[in-house]
Structure 1
């Protein structure tokens, strides 16, 4: 895997590039997370296609980006990254990475397909309640306090399924003070970003869209899963897949299923 920096104006985004093939698969992580999140999935996909796993502005080795870190700006950065590679592209987005890749894809014709992994979905009414607004308002400041005291690093155990070297990176890149600041900058625009999509949904045309939902049955999972099903049904070439036995982090809980779905989204013949 080759480490590479992509220029976006006077700053740089860090990416790790591997593999070769007729298509380029680009991985977008969730709120405040670095690309190492995809460590169980991307290496397998790299046997069939070029893979690009990158860190958004302010995360890991990428430079800080201009504030505010709105959904529109995050999609702009992804678009600038794509300009440095050749398509056709398959965009894979987890959680809030789902809206980012949808918005970026709607702006360019070289995106062949999208795979959304338990994505944030504006059809889910719970995202627009006063309770969610209160949680999002305190999420960033609380995370920064936890990071300053070192307590935030305890949450890194969610990545324990990763190989040891990647788990060490996962802990370092995603649970320190800088990572907490990036999450703070992004989460404060979570609800406005989804509200913008709700009022003006990105047009993906007839491109294949696969939405993979958690199989969890507690909390908000059933409601979000229903929103995913509705979004897939509203798309001409949409598919909805439930990752049984998985929580929100499908790439860590069910990498096998996710690998199958990404490979199915690739255009044309694949390397055996």
Structure 2
């Protein structure tokens, strides 16, 4: 039987941030999506995790059902919103999970909330261990992508494209929500704003990092290069491995596929790694997954 999902809002001074909660248990799992994406990133993972934990997914400003933010979308602004929703919705030990650009968000958040966040899961994250020029070169197509989304949304052409690309792994109501909400002008403008602020924000993260929380940490890499002897060419996977080495209790695993969108392609892998962390947090607090 599916776990019931509840929708609500966190009220800030001038806008609302939308979130959905599901499941129950002594440990919370709080999710952060990647750049330009909504809670729909976790549409396949949240129901699996809600079977053994209290879960929260939310929409960053301008995405999903959250109000836009006219003050910009740099890293610090995204982090402040993340912490606002976390503080309003989590009242027990917590595991935070971040995909892509959400990775550094949850790691920094863990350093800001050491009494609440007890473990971190990273899913093919963007890592400030990488040199900014290398990261920006790897993402050189992003300007075209996010700019094109604005044009396609105006022409009412983005919705079907999202259904055939990023969200093709979803079905039914989850698919409808994802493509309708992801093709609004608010959503594509928010994504464009996040990208425009990324270069400066990432450089600042690199210069002040690496930001490694003092908690159990698991990082999952896309399997871009299957050959063990050639994996040194995967600079992002190497950064993930280094993050695990720097953590007090770190684990680095590879996904089966090379797709960056692991939460949608391999949700059971992500849920399994989260369950292990929930078990560790539960054992430390005297309880565990149901």
TM-score for both structures, normalised by structure 1: 0.91
Shift of 1:89: 1.4
Q: What is the rounded CA distance, in whole Å, between the counterparts of 2:152 and 2:248 in structure 1?
A: 44
Q: Mapping of 1:114-125 within 5 angstroms?
A: 114-125=120-131
- Do residues 38 (structure 1) and 42 (structure 2) align? yes
Query: 2:222 touches 2:260 (CA, 8 Å); kept in 1?
Result: yes
SS of residue matched to 1:114: strand
* Cα gap change, 1:140 to 1:40, in 2 (>3 Å): closer
- Structure 1 spans left out of the alignment, 5+ residues: none
1:162-201 superposed Cα distances (whole Å, 9 cap, x missing partner): 2311011111111332211110011111122221111112
- Do residues 112 (structure 1) and 115 (structure 2) align? no
1:100-131 superposed Cα distances (whole Å, 9 cap, x missing partner): 11222221121111101100112223654674
* Cα gap change, 1:176 to 1:217, in 2 (>3 Å): farther
1:16 to 13, 20, 32: 20
Query: 1:3 touches 1:17 (CA, 8 Å); kept in 2?
Result: yes
1:174 to 182, 190, 202: 182
Query: 1:103 touches 1:202 (CA, 8 Å); kept in 2?
Result: no
Root mean square deviation of aligned Cα: 2.2
Query: 2:275 touches 2:289 (CA, 8 Å); kept in 1?
Result: no
- Do residues 265 (structure 1) and 257 (structure 2) align? no
Q: What is the rounded CA distance, in whole Å, between the counterparts of 1:130 and 1:163 in structure 2?
A: 33
Q: What is the rounded CA distance, in whole Å, between the counterparts of 1:165 and 1:129 in structure 2?
A: 35
* Cα gap change, 1:79 to 1:129, in 2 (>3 Å): closer
Shift of 1:19: 0.9
Query: 1:6 touches 1:13 (CA, 8 Å); kept in 2?
Result: yes
Aligned residues: 271
* Cα gap change, 1:179 to 1:257, in 2 (>3 Å): same
Q: What is the rounded CA distance, in whole Å, between the counterparts of 2:149 and 2:233 in structure 1?
A: 23
SS of residue matched to 1:48: coil
Query: 1:118 touches 1:212 (CA, 8 Å); kept in 2?
Result: yes
Q: Which residue of 1 aligns with 2:207?
A: 199
